[in-house]
A and B are shown apart, each in its own frame.
Chain A
Amino acid sequence: MRIEHHLVPENPIEDTSHQNSVELRLVFPCTQSNVRLALASVMAGLGAMNLSEDDNSSIEIVLAEVLNNVTEHAYHDEGVGMIELQLKQTQSGLSCRVIDTGDAMPRNVPPAGNPPNPDCPLEHQPEGGFGWFLIRHLTRDLAYMRQKDRNILSFRIEVGQSISRN
Chain B
Amino acid sequence: MQLETAQHDGLMVITLLEDRLDAAIALDFKDTMRDLTIDAPPRVVLDMQSVRFLDSSGLGAVIGAMKQLGSTRKLELAGLKPAVDKVFRLTRMDSIFTIHPNLAEALGPLPVDGAADPKGRAHAY
Contact = CB atoms under 8 A, between A and B. Distances in A.
Interface of A: 32-33, 35-36, 53-54, 56-58, 60-61, 64-65, 68, 71-72, 115-116, 118, 122-123, 125-128, 130-131, 133-134, 137-138
A122 B92 contact: no
Interface stretch (B39-47, B79-87, B103-111, B116-124): B79-87
Interface string B36-76: 00000000000000000101110111011011000100000
Contact of B63 (A71, A127, A133): A127
B23 A68 contact: yes
B25 to A, nearest CB: 9
Instruction: Identify whether the interface residues of B are mostly helix, strand, loop, or mixed.
Output: helix
Contact of B61 (A36, A118, A127): A127
Q: How large is the interface on B (under 10, 10 to 19, 20 to 34, 35 or more residues)?
A: 20 to 34
Contacts, number: 82
Given A122-B66, A131-B56, A72 B23 contact: yes
Contacts of B64: 127
21 contacts: A32-B22, A32-B23, A57-B86, A60-B83, A61-B87, A65-B56, A115-B92, A116-B91, A116-B92, A118-B93, A118-B96, A126-B60, A128-B56, A128-B60, A130-B60, A131-B55, A131-B57, A133-B90, A134-B87, A134-B90, A138-B90
